[in-house]
């Protein structure tokens, strides 16, 4: 039975990323406020936010300082744009700070409002710059199966998940998908992680050869796949992939939308995962998601190509009304200052051993086939048979059940296929982290009991 607010919600709000058939019967969890790593629903029940919202609310809720800086900027100059020879201090200062932090030698920052826009911008820059450089055939972009890069037309095409393509008439032309670096699922029997990484690099090499290297422009990858199920590639995967890309003059775009700003214990996941990107997409923790802001960090040679092209054809025809929105830029700049002032990276590095110990311990749970993660992000994958790694019938909705039990226990986590993802705010304390895993364990026990009673194995 839905409450009045739930009924109004499902009657009026078209929910993103939801099952639109079942949601009207189940109703939404309607949140009212947040404090630290907890959010409260309209009945006042607290939930530990085990997903930092959507992998993004790094500093938790209730940061008055961010409220103040937004209010101050709104009083001073609530809107100004960066088009046609205009600029403003918050965007300039933020771009300078990002250049300083960038995991690759950076020339400039192009601001957007979402991760999807950042990755769409990456696609358009690849096309535009390769035209400008006189190699119009070099346009294809390779992403990976289970990679997640957003939902706009180009970024959804890069995303390697069926639900983002089926019936949306995607992917667009020129996008290819390479193998997913998930050893547990796609490694051959008796293939070590190292051998698996070597094979994937060889497959990518063959794929680029088959396409024609003169037609392949870029490879886009999240250092650790997030929305595809928190997939951590083997340690030598990126160096091996990078060698293939260099051989064929294919650039590497790092999608750091989740991994940027501390998630893996370093400013960027690229350095943590031994990637050397040519360009980087950022969003989410850039502002701790207090306001929407995203960006693309570009190197000198792209910047130079863009300027040269403007010499020839005039205006660079790309930009959003809210590119570098002053309120968002001011909040993002303050967020980065807080990360530094409070040594959030140091805090994360202090927590990682506990997080990984408690996560990996869940691998021993009867319902869990693999407990995987790196830094402060992880997932547990439910299996029907641990020995054979056989999954449950997807219709049984086992991960969704784990998430529902967790919610009853006062913990928010996220189901992705048969996996349950965990990505807490970076500022979570050691005691809160223990509470998170205690509640998740209870949810797993309850789901295991339920799966047994339903004869799902
Ligand atoms: N890239 C990655 C790695 C993401 O995780 C996401 C969102 N979860 C996006 C891009 C898309 O970002 P947005 O939802 O802000 O468009």
pTM over 0.80: yes
Q: Are 278 and 104 in contact (CB under 8 A)?
A: yes
Q: Any idea how long the chain is?
A: 457
pLDDT of residue 152: 98
3-class DSSP string for 356-410? HHHHHHHHHCCCEEEEEEECCEEEEEECCECCCCECCCHHHCHHHHHHHHHHHCC
Nearest CA to ligand 1 atom 10: 149
Task: Please write the tens of the pLDDT for every residue from 217-262.
Answer: 999 999 999 999 999 999 999 999 999 999 999 999 999 999 999 9
CA of 390 to the centre of ligand 1 (A): 30
DSSP structure class, residue 61: B
Domain with CATH 3.40.640.10 in the chain: 66-341
Q: How many CB atoms lie under 10 A from the CB of residue 163?
A: 10
Domain with CATH 3.90.1150.10 in the chain: 4-62+343-453
Task: Please write the tens of the pLDDT for every residue from 172-217.
Answer: 999 999 999 999 999 999 999 999 999 999 999 999 999 999 999 9
Mean pLDDT of the region 1-27: 97
Q: Provide the H-helix boundaries in 106-214.
A: 115-132, 153-158, 183-186, 193-211
pLDDT above 90 covers a percentage of the chain that reads 100
The span from the CA of 342 to the CA of 163, in Å, is: 40
Mean pLDDT of the region 133-156: 98
Using 50, 70 and 90 to split pLDDT, how confident is the model at 286?
very high
Cross-strand bridge partners of residue 371: 380
Q: Are 268 and 274 in contact (CB under 8 A)?
A: no
pLDDT of residue 225: 98
For a substitution probing ligand 1, which of 257, 275, 277 has the most ligand atoms within 8 Å of its CB? Answer: 257
Q: Mention every residue, 6+ apart, whose C-beta is less than 8 A from residue 73.
A: 90, 326, 327, 330, 331
CA of 454 to the centre of ligand 1 (A): 36
Closest C-alpha to 379, from 344, 436, 420, 339: 420
Mean pLDDT of the region 263-278: 98
Within 6 A (CB) of ligand 1 lie 54-55, 114-116, 119, 148-150, 222, 226-227, 255, 257-258, 283
CA of 103 to the centre of ligand 1 (A): 19
Q: What are phi and psi of 109, to 5 degrees?
A: -125, 130
The span from the CA of 307 to the CA of 263, in Å, is: 34
pLDDT of residue 245: 98
DSSP structure class, residue 253: E
CA of 120 to the centre of ligand 1 (A): 11
**Whether CATH 3.30.70.3270 fits 66-341:** no
CA of 276 to the centre of ligand 1 (A): 21
pLDDT above 70 covers a percentage of the chain that reads 100
Nearest CA to ligand 1 atom 3: 257
Q: How many CB atoms lie under 10 A from the CB of residue 448?
A: 18
pLDDT of residue 148: 98
Using 50, 70 and 90 to split pLDDT, how confident is the model at 155?
very high
For a substitution probing ligand 1, which of 227, 377, 414 has the most ligand atoms within 8 Å of its CB? Answer: 227
The span from the CA of 56 to the CA of 258, in Å, is: 7
Task: Please write the tens of the pLDDT for every residue from 336-380.
Answer: 999 999 999 999 999 999 999 999 999 999 999 999 999 999 999
pLDDT of residue 217: 98
The span from the CA of 426 to the CA of 340, in Å, is: 13
Closest C-alpha to 92, from 327, 282, 329: 329
ipTM > 0.95 for the complex? yes
Nearest atom, ligand 1, residue 150 CA: 11
The span from the CA of 431 to the CA of 410, in Å, is: 15
pLDDT of residue 420: 98
pLDDT of residue 112: 98
CA of 162 to the centre of ligand 1 (A): 16
How many Å is the maximal CA-CA distance in the chain?
70
CA of 301 to the centre of ligand 1 (A): 26
Task: Please write the tens of the pLDDT for every residue from 51-94.
Answer: 999 999 999 999 999 999 999 999 999 999 999 999 999 999 99
Q: What fold, for 4-62+343-453?
A: 3.90.1150
């Amino acid at each position: 039975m839905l409450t009045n607010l739930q009924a109004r919600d499902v009657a009026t709000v078209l929910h993103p990323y939801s099952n639109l058939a079942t949601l009207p019967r189940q109703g939404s969890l309607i949140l009212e406020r947040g404090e630290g790593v907890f959010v409260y629903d309209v009945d006042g029940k607290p939930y530990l936010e085990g997903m930092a919202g959507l992998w993004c609310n790094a500093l938790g809720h209730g940061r008055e300082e961010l409220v103040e800086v937004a209010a101050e900027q709104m009083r001073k100059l609530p809107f100004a744009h960066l088009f046609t020879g205009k600029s403003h201090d918050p965007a300039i200062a933020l771009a300078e700070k990002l250049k300083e932090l960038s995991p690759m030698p950076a020339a400039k920052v192009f601001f957007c409002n979402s991760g999807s826009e950042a990755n769409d911008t990456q696609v358009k820059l690849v096309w535009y710059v390769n035209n400008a450089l006189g190699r119009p055939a070099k346009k294809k972009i390779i992403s990976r199966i289970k990679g997640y890069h957003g939902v706009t037309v180009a970024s959804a095409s890069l995303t390697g998940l069926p639900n983002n393509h089926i019936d949306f008439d995607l992917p667009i032309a020129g996008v290819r998908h390479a193998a997913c670096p998930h050893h547990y699922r796609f490694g051959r029997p008796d293939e070590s992680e190292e051998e698996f990484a070597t094979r994937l690099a060889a497959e990518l090499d063959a794929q680029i050869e088959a396409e024609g290297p003169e037609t392949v422009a870029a490879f886009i990858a999240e250092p650790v796949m997030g929305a595809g199920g928190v997939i951590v590639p083997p340690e030598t995967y990126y160096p091996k992939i990078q060698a293939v890309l260099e051989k064929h003059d294919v650039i590497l775009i790092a999608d750091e939308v989740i991994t940027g700003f501390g998630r893996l214990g370093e400013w960027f996941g690229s350095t943590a995962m031994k990637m050397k990107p040519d360009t980087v997409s950022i969003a989410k923790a850039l502002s701790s998601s207090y306001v929407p802001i995203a960006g693309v960090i570009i190197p000198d040679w792209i910047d130079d190509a863009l300027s040269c092209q403007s010499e020839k054809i005039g205006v660079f025809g790309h930009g959003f009304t809210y590119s570098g929105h002053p309120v968002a830029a001011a909040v993002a700049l303050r967020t980065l200052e807080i990360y530094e002032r409070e040594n959030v990276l140091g805090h994360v590095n202090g927590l990682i051993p506990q997080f990984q110990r408690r996560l990996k311990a869940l691998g021993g749970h009867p319902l869990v086939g693999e407990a995987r993660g790196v830094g402060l992000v992880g997932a547990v994958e439910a299996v029907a048979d641990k020995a054979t790694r056989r999954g449950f019938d997807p219709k049984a909705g086992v991960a969704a059940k784990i998430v529902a039990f967790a919610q009853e226990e006062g913990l928010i986590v996220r189901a992705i296929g048969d996996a349950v993802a965990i990505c807490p705010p970076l500022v979570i304390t050691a005691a809160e982290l223990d509470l998170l895993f205690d509640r998740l364990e209870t949810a797993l026990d309850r789901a295991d009991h339920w799966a047994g009673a339903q004869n799902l194995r």
